[in-house]
Amino acid sequence: MNVSIHTLGCKVNFAEMANLGDRLSRAGFTVAEEHPHPDVCVINSCTVTAQADRKVRTLVHGLRRRHPQAHIVLTGCHVDNPYPRASAVPSADVAFPNARKHEIFDYLVSTFQPGTGAGAGGYARSRFFLKVQDGCDHRCTYCIVWRTRGASRSEPDEAIIGRAEQAVSDGYREVVLTGVDLGSYGRDRRESFSDLVTRMLDRIAPARLRLSSINANDFTPALVNLAQHPRFCRHLHIPLQSGSDRVLKRMGRLYRRRDYLHLVASLRQGVPDLAITTDVIVGFPDESDDDFADTQAVARDARLSGMHVFRYSPRAGTAAPRLGLPVDDPVSRDRSHRLQAQAEQQRRDYERRFIGQDLEVIWDRRFPGRIRGLSDNYITVLATEGGQALGALATVRPVAPYAEGLQV
């Protein structure tokens, strides 16, 4: 029984599907990200922008057209969003809201005959994505996720650490902590996120630890210090959204440009080569040329090594549409292109610093004659195939740049 798993959106979605895929494989299903002949297609959806909704609909309709006999299971935030203009749900055979996502495994096992014995290999075997928190208590004016994911809630710490220890015992050498609002972990349980990270680092040796995304206002002095731990990956994804204090206030963000730059400086004081990546929204209602220039300046001053640039998309059910009309489409499109070009140049400038230096990579994908790895500081590395095991850590020394990163 072949299962094709498709993940759209955030690292939390990927963590959820990695867990489902691994469980299905152990139960006897053959699981792949894009199986050529699927009997079942599982889609974990996103609804953060109008473009995300279009991607969901395009994917569902495309799978239905290419694999008319496949059983399509749709889950994720698109299912929970009460406002999409044209839902993909009618094209799916069954839809699971986020609150019932955990039932998909039992549904598939009870509905289909998985096969005899374990499936082919496993799923997402290079890095272990571990969801430790779900939901969000913030009300950013552009965001619908708090409606689709619900209130912030944390997984029990011992259960989390136990799953991480088992993953390391199974051979994983990188654990990635994920959450919808990762930095809020523990608040509902009167626990500390930095304490969880400390205990995790103590108990997952020899694996390294990476955080998926954490807001600037959620960094404590203890967490800043933990970034210096030798098995804490030299990479943090810290959403910026805008470099303009005026726009940040209208967005409902809980930090300002000075806070962001101060945090970056504090982190780099302890880890000078730290890679910092971010998310940025351009074209927010009433964003001026000066506001956009502030964003460019913060990105430059923070020496960001990667940016996910989104054009603002009005979401029904959010407060931002009441703040005014989005920036005219040609203007927001131009700003997006300019910021993406700046991001590409800053990425290349950062990566060039590591030519001729040792990097620790985890091998995560094979190509004909080549193998790809991800360094601890989030640089994609391409090497000649030489029998390297996927999921293994290795020390390499890049010699030159290539389109997506560095090559050995």
Question: Are 330 and 398 part of one and the same domain?
Answer: no
Question: Are 19 and 65 part of one and the same domain?
Answer: yes
Determine, yes or no, domain membership for 348. Answer: yes
| Residue 288: CATH number of its domain | 3.30.750.200
Determine, yes or no, domain membership for 142. Answer: no
Q: HEC profile for 4-43?
A: EEEECCCHHHHHHHHHHHHHHHHCCCEEECCCCCCCEEEE
Mean pLDDT of the chain: 93
296 and 346 in contact (C-beta within 8 Å)?
no
For 10-48, write each residue's pLDDT tens digit.
989 999 998 899 899 889 999 988 788 999 999 999 998
Determine, yes or no, domain membership for 283. Answer: yes
Q: Which helix (H) or strand (E) holds 264?
A: helix 257-270
Determine, yes or no, domain membership for 344. Answer: yes
Determine, yes or no, domain membership for 78. Answer: yes
Question: Are 269 and 371 part of one and the same domain?
Answer: no
For 358-398, write each residue's pLDDT tens digit.
999 999 999 999 999 999 999 999 999 998 999 999 999 99
Between CA 372 and CA 385 the distance in angstroms is 9
Nearest alpha-carbon partner for 53 in 96, 89, 101, 11: 89
Q: How far is residue 131 CA from its own chain's centroid?
A: 11
Beta bridge partners of 310: 281
* β strands within 144-274, DSSP E: 153-154, 174-179, 208-211, 235-237
Q: Which residues contact 377 (CB under 8 A, 6 or more apart)?
A: 233, 234, 235, 273, 274, 275, 305, 354, 359
pLDDT number for residue 86:
54
For 129-168, write each residue's pLDDT tens digit.
999 999 999 999 999 999 999 999 999 999 999 999 999 9
Sign for the CA dihedral angle at 385, 390, 394, 396 comes to positive
Question: Are 332 and 378 part of one and the same domain?
Answer: no
**Sorting pLDDT into bands at 50, 70 and 90, what band is 81?**
confident
70 and 41 in contact (C-beta within 8 Å)?
yes
Determine, yes or no, domain membership for 128. Answer: no
Question: Are 10 and 107 part of one and the same domain?
Answer: yes
Question: Are 332 and 373 part of one and the same domain?
Answer: no
- The predicted model gives 119-134 an average pLDDT of 77
Question: Are 34 and 59 part of one and the same domain?
Answer: yes
Between CA 102 and CA 82 the distance in angstroms is 21
Residue whose structure tokens are 């009309």: 325
Determine, yes or no, domain membership for 311. Answer: yes
Q: Which of 111, 138, 168 is the last residue of a domain?
A: 111
**Sorting pLDDT into bands at 50, 70 and 90, what band is 116?**
low
CA distances from 41 to 22, 57, 63, 77, 170 (A): 15, 14, 8, 17, 26
Q: Which of 82, 111, 140 is the last residue of a domain?
A: 111
- Report, in angstroms and rounded to the nearest whole number, the Rg of the chain calculated over CA atoms: 21
Structure tokens at 336: 């997006």
DSSP per residue over 71-87, as a string? EEEEEEHHHH-S--SS-
| Residue 63: CATH number of its domain | 3.40.50.12160
CA distances from 4 to 68, 112, 381 (A): 14, 14, 27
For 303-327, write each residue's pLDDT tens digit.
999 999 999 989 888 999 999 999 9
For 223-280, write each residue's pLDDT tens digit.
999 999 999 999 999 999 999 999 999 999 999 999 999 999 999 999 999 999 999 9
How many separate domains does the chain show?
A: 3
Q: In this model, does residue 73 exceed pLDDT 60?
A: yes
Question: Are 375 and 324 part of one and the same domain?
Answer: no
Determine, yes or no, domain membership for 211. Answer: no
Between CA 188 and CA 135 the distance in angstroms is 11
**Sorting pLDDT into bands at 50, 70 and 90, what band is 298?**
very high
- The predicted model gives 196-220 an average pLDDT of 97
User: Domain of 271?
Assistant: 234-352
Q: Which of 95, 111, 127 is the last residue of a domain?
A: 111
pLDDT number for residue 123:
58
- Name the pTM for this structure: 0.90
3 state DSSP class of 62:
helix
Question: Are 386 and 340 part of one and the same domain?
Answer: no
Question: Are 242 and 273 part of one and the same domain?
Answer: yes
Q: What is the largest CA-CA distance in the chain?
A: 63
Question: Are 347 and 384 part of one and the same domain?
Answer: no
363 and 373 in contact (C-beta within 8 Å)?
yes
Question: Are 259 and 301 part of one and the same domain?
Answer: yes
Helices (H), 112-151: 145-149
**Sorting pLDDT into bands at 50, 70 and 90, what band is 69?**
very high
